[in-house]
Amino acid sequence: MEKKPDLLSMTKDELREYAVSIGEAPYRGDQIFSFFAKGARFREMTTLSKALREKLESLAECRMPSVVTKRRSKDGTTVKYLLSLIDGECVEAVLMRHDYGTSLCISSQVGCLMGCKFCASTIAGKVRDLLPSEMLGQVAAASRDSGERVDKLVMMGIGEPLDNYDNTVKFLRLLNDSEGIGLGLRNVSLSTCGIVPGIRRLADEGLPVTLSVSLHAYCDETRRAIMPIAKKYTLDELLAACRYYFDRTGRRVSFEYTLISGKNDSPEDAKGLSALLREKMGVPSHVNLIPLNRVDGTGMEPTGREGAERFAALLNSLGQNATVRKSMGADIDAACGQLRRSLQNGKTEV
| Catalytic positions, written as ranges | 92, 336
350 in helix, strand or coil? coil
Give residues 148-177 in contact with ligand SAH (rule: CB under 6 A).
156, 160
Stretch that binds ligand SAH, among 31-39, 123-131, 187-195, 274-282 (CB under 6 A): 187-195
* 15/94 with CB nearer ligand SAH: 94
* 62/96 with CB nearer ligand SAH: 96
Give residues 97-116 in contact with ligand SAH (rule: CB under 6 A).
114, 116
* 36/218 with CB nearer ligand SAH: 218
Cα maximum dimension of the chain: 68
Applying CB under 6 A, does 32 fall inside the site for ligand SAH?
A: no
Stretch that binds ligand SAH, among 3-11, 93-101, 134-142, 188-196 (CB under 6 A): 188-196
Binding residue for ligand SAH (CB under 6 A) from 82, 135, 241, 336?
A: 336
Binding residue for ligand SAH (CB under 6 A) from 73, 167, 191, 285?
A: 191
Give residues 286-325 in contact with ligand SAH (rule: CB under 6 A).
290, 292-293, 295
Applying CB under 6 A, does 143 fall inside the site for ligand SAH?
A: no
Asked if residues 323 and 312 have their Cβ atoms less than 8 Å apart, the reply is yes
Provide the minimum distance between the beta carbon of 175 and ligand SAH in the complex, in angstroms, as a whole number.
17
- The gap from C-alpha 233 to its chain's centroid, in whole angstroms, comes to 22
75-87 burial string, b = 16+ CB within 10 Å, else e?
A: eeebbbbbbebee
Applying CB under 6 A, does 119 fall inside the site for ligand SAH?
A: yes
d(CA 336, CA 236): 27
Site string for ligand SAH, 221-260 (x = CB under 6 A): -----------------------------------x-x--
Applying CB under 6 A, does 192 fall inside the site for ligand SAH?
A: yes
H or E stretch covering 214 = strand 210-214
Sheet of strand 152-155, all strands in order from the earlier edge strand to the far edge: 66-72, 78-84, 90-98, 101-105, 152-155, 188-192, 210-214, 254-259, 286-291, 322-324
How far, CA to CA in Å, does 300 sit from each of 9, 112, 226, 294, 303? 39, 20, 10, 7, 10
Q: Kindly determine how many residues on this chain lie close enough to bind ligand SAH according to the rule CB under 6 A.
A: 18
d(CA 120, CA 122): 6
d(CA 56, CA 51): 9
Provide the minimum distance between the beta carbon of 169 and ligand SAH in the complex, in angstroms, as a whole number.
16
d(CA 19, CA 44): 17
Task: Write out the residues near ligand SAH by the rule CB under 6 A.
Answer: 114, 116, 118-119, 156, 160, 191-193, 214, 256, 258, 290, 292-293, 295, 335-336
